[in-house]
Amino acid sequence: MTTTSLSLDEVEERAFAALSACGASQIAASSLARAVAAAEAEGIASHGLLYVPTYCEHLGCGKVVRDAVPMLSKTKPSTLVVDAGSGFAHPAIDMGFESLIPLAHEMGIAALAVRNSYNCGVLGYHTDRLAGAGLLAMGFTHAPASIAPVGGRRPVIGTNPFAIAAPGANGSVVISIDQSASVIAKSEIIKRKRDGRGIPPNWAFGPDGEPTTDADLALKGTMAPSGGYKGFGVGLLVELLASAAAGALPSTEASPFSGPVGEPPRTGQFFIAIDAGATSGGIFADRIATLVEAIVGQDGARLPGKRRVAQRAKAEREGVTVPTELLERIARISSGN
């Protein structure tokens, strides 16, 4: 496979050009392009430039409303809601964060619900931004149903990721966790199918409810919950917040994030931001330092999020490599061909 090296600025520029050519507003295209570059920087190719053709396809078929304008409301002293209007999640989250960050610092804790939304990409990208503003952050986002309850075969919840980020000094992020309720993100199976590769037998079940190594069968069946019933419980937690508490569609009614079939998915996100200095009596930083030392002080132990930090630092220095064929496809989209 032939690859091309790009700087992160070039990644952002190419994503912006393609999204703009397909009708995304400048605000939406800019927001998504930044997130695409961040995903490439951290080595998360499934949500980087690889996803841009899907974004563009969904702009064209109506799964994303091109001219959607997010609407922000403050429903209680420390709760915010953004209705994304069936547009992209990223500009809706951006709008919410502009109010959530100062509100959490003022109140000690604040929540943001986003409804009538779309795939928000790498969830940790968003919680890291809150941590960078000095807040202990939790994020939840649900997805079209793909996980069945233990013992069942009919999917009722999505891969439903959650993310947690802890702030450090000077805008740093000390700990960053981003994981789904499934063994692996569904986008990884989609990528394996596209590449003509199989999957490990513990990733998914076929339509018959049996484990499969065939990526195509896996996409016709259900995802395996991480840790069995415990993973399904995590997925339910996310469903309660990102779907029910946010006022979004349940996972069972949301249309797929992939392909042109269906209406806008109208899924949701939920964020909780905490001024941990206020809740800890001012010793949060010391407690985090002790926790971090207990982890990194062990040979071979890795602090969650550190691999992404190292990958990002390397990408900022050296750029990233992207399949040339993908870049050519994005260039054709940008030119209207």
- pLDDT tens across 142-168, in order? 999 999 898 888 899 999 999 999 999
* Cβ pair 160, 180 in contact under 8 A: yes
20 by Cβ neighbours in 10 Å (0-12 / 13-18 / 19+) ranks as middle
* Close Cβ partners of 337 (under 8 Å, ≥ 6 residues apart): none
pLDDT (tens digit per residue) in 212-257: 999 999 988 898 998 889 999 999 999 999 999 999 999 999 999 9
Number of alpha carbons in the 13 Å side-chain half-sphere of residue 208: 5
Residue 337 has pLDDT above 80, yes or no: no
Rounded-to-integer distance, Cα 295 and Cα 336, Å: 51
In the chain, the domains with their CATH numbers are 1-61+305-337 (1.10.1530.10), 71-182+225-304 (3.30.1370.60)
For residue 54, is pLDDT > 90?
A: yes
Q: Tell me how many degrees the CA angle 253-256-257 measures, rounded to the nearest 5.
A: 130
Q: Which residue has the higher pLDDT, 269 or 170?
A: 269
The shares of helix, strand and coil residues in the chain, as percent rounded to the nearest 5, are 45, 20, 35
Confidence of residue 336 (pLDDT cuts 50, 70, 90): confident
Token duo for residue 132 = 């960078």
What are the catalytic residues?
46-47, 188
Angle between helices 8-21 and 324-335 (to 10 degrees): 40
- Tell me what pLDDT residue 245 has: 98
> Do 46 and 187 touch, CB atoms closer than 8 A?
yes
Instruction: Read off the pLDDT band of 209 (50, 70, 90).
Output: confident
Residue 57 has pLDDT above 80, yes or no: yes
DSSP states of 209-247:
SSB-S-HHHHHHSEEPBTTTHHHHHHHHHHIIIIIIITT
> Are the C-beta atoms of residues 186 and 215 closer than 8 Å to each other?
no
